[in-house]
Amino acid sequence: MNGLYYIGLDVHKKHVSYVIKDAAGKRVEAGQVVATRPALSAWADAIGRPWTGALEATLFSGWIYDHLRPYAEQLELAHPAMLEAITCSKKKNDRLDADKICDLLRCELLPRCYLAPPEIRELRRVLRYRNLLVREAVRMKNKISGLLMEAGEPYDARRLHGKKYFFEYMGSLKDTPESVVELLHISRSNLELFERLQQRLLAGLKRQPLLQQRLRRLQSIDGVGEVLALTWALETAEVERFSSLPQAVSYCGLCAAQRESAGKSYRGPLSKQRNKHLQRVLIEAAKLAPRWNQRLRQVRDRERERGHPNRATVAVARKLGAYLLAVGRSGQPFVEPSLAA
């Protein structure tokens, strides 16, 4: 182990700052390397000794991790929110950031961050892009309604976005400004495009052999649809990494941040340190799932009787998360517990 180098990497879009130290903490080398695959390969080949490294999790860290992993004895991803030694520093630059990451790794104090397997990350990227298309389609729907309200045109809000009604309605417009008519047609074209593309991406994800059996098990839960099942499967990746249900609930952003000092404890709103994609889908599903799941309906009604409709939604989302986690751990289809239990 005395011959092992420790390397801290501070990652940016165009370059990567690095600091190399030995086991005693003596700096061996420091510098920058261009953030391209050929440059990183040449740099890793020139190190000349076995090494273990760490880099902070950023938007650019995934491909750099995948590229450097074969060169290293071990490569770790650091949790950015927990690197207090960097974020609270009085003096901060790329070289010092890399130096602190290197020391944290060398002293076994690095706050490690989970990184999903490459194949899961590829599918997750597709799902998140599909969610972007859904949001853009909603924006187009809102824009269509807004344009008609600006022009003072009455319309049936429940039928407006149906294809047949929309074009019949457009044919009935007489005194509407030409600019509004043109923008309505453009918005409708964009809406159809976004909906068509998101359906294509969703169909492609459902056909993935890596996901098919897992999705089938997750959808055995009453109230769990294909979007929630896909989101849970791809955002959690490997449910074995959750040692307990509270840990999974925290990851989903369904619990409050806690502050405790001098025997006094304070609970705030739902924590912002969460997987926002999974949180959003679980909250949306919790509003609909009680229609098909009697157990979830009981949870919702019990919380509503206490006068907290928003807490009722969060409680249903937590219960959904518990069911999804149980199915993931067991590897078996869901069995509804007895209502009398």
Residues whose CB falls within 8 Å of the CB of residue 242, separated by 6 or more in sequence, listed in order: 236, 248, 251, 325
Q: Are residues 263 and 316 in the same domain?
A: yes
Supply the DSSP symbol for 48.
Answer: -
Q: What are phi and psi of 169, to 5 degrees?
A: -65, -40
Looking at the structure, do residues 225 and 262 belong to the same domain, yes or no?
yes
pLDDT digits (tens, 9 = 90+) for 174-224: 889 999 999 999 999 999 999 999 999 999 999 999 999 999 999 999 999
Q: Which of 207, 224, 255 is the last residue of a domain?
A: 207
Q: Does residue 88 sit in the same domain as residue 29?
A: yes
Lookup result for tokens 């194949």: 119
According to DSSP, residue 112 is labeled B
In angstroms, what CA-CA distances link 28 with 18, 102, 267? 11, 12, 46
Query: Is 111 domain-assigned?
Result: no
Q: Are 232 and 278 in contact (CB under 8 A)?
A: yes
Does residue 241 sit in the same domain as residue 141? no
**pLDDT at residue 340, rounded to an integer:** 43
Q: Are the CB atoms for 90 and 67 separated by under 8 Å?
A: no
At residue 75, the 3 state secondary structure works out as strand
Domain that holds residue 67: 5-106
What's the pLDDT score for residue 270? Answer: 83
In a domain, 221, yes or no: yes
Same domain (yes/no): 86, 66:
yes
Distance between CA atoms of residues 292 and 287, nearest Å: 11
For the chain, the farthest-separated pair of C-alpha atoms sits apart, in whole angstroms, at: 84
Is 337 domain-assigned?
no
Residues 220 and 323 in one domain: yes
Q: What is the pLDDT along the chain (341 residues), one digit of tens a residue?
A: 458 999 999 999 999 999 999 999 999 999 999 999 999 999 999 998 999 999 999 888 999 999 999 999 999 999 888 887 666 767 888 888 899 999 999 999 899 999 999 999 999 999 999 999 999 999 999 999 999 999 999 999 999 999 999 999 999 988 899 999 999 999 999 999 999 999 999 999 999 999 999 999 999 999 999 999 999 999 999 999 999 999 999 999 998 877 776 777 777 788 888 899 999 999 999 999 999 999 999 999 999 998 888 899 999 999 999 999 999 999 999 987 665 44
| Whether 28 and 102 share a structural domain | yes
CATH number at residue 32: 3.30.420.40
> Same domain, yes or no, for 152 and 203?
yes
Instruction: Please check whether residue 203 lies inside any domain of the structure.
Output: yes
pLDDT at 232: 97
Domain assignment present for 339: no
Domain boundary among 188, 207, 226: 207
Place of tokens 């440059």: 39
Instruction: List helix spans (H) across 79-237.
Output: 84-87, 94-106, 118-150, 163-172, 178-206, 209-218, 226-236
Domain boundary among 71, 106, 141: 106
For residue 112, is it within any domain? no
Do 42 and 73 fall into the same domain? yes
Domain count for the chain: 3
Residue 170's φ and ψ, nearest 5 degrees, are -65, -35
Q: Determine, yes or no, domain membership for 341.
A: no
Give the CA-trace dihedral at 43, 48, 49, 54, to 10 degrees.
-10
